[in-house]
Amino acid sequence: MFLRKGLIGTCAFVALVLLASFYSIVSGAVDRAARQRSAGAEGFGSASANALPARSARGNGLLARAGS
């Protein structure tokens, strides 16, 4: 009987820790998205948005060489 209560308590504690970590991760992602959205609305853009054209230009160059 004591072992069963201990197992239930341990499972409840693990579930609580998983829930707290999930909430922390999701909350951080929402905060980052809000910051990026506000920076994009102000015209500054984010670092990943600035790096995207360079990647596509490099990819287009590789595709142009492969077609020759």
39: left (phi over 0), alpha (psi -120 to 50) or beta: alpha
Q: Which residue has the higher pLDDT, 29 or 60?
A: 29
Quote the DSSP letter at residue 57.
H
Tokens 């504690």 correspond to 13
Q: What angle do CA 43, 45, 51 make, to 5 degrees?
A: 145
Q: Which residue has the higher pLDDT, 9 or 60?
A: 9
pLDDT of residue 42: 77
Six token digits for residue 13:
């504690």
Average pLDDT on 35-55 reads 66
Q: How many residues does the chain have?
A: 68
Average pLDDT on 32-47 reads 78
Residue 31 pLDDT greater than 70, yes or no: yes
> pLDDT band for position 17 (50/70/90)?
very high
Average pLDDT on 47-68 reads 54
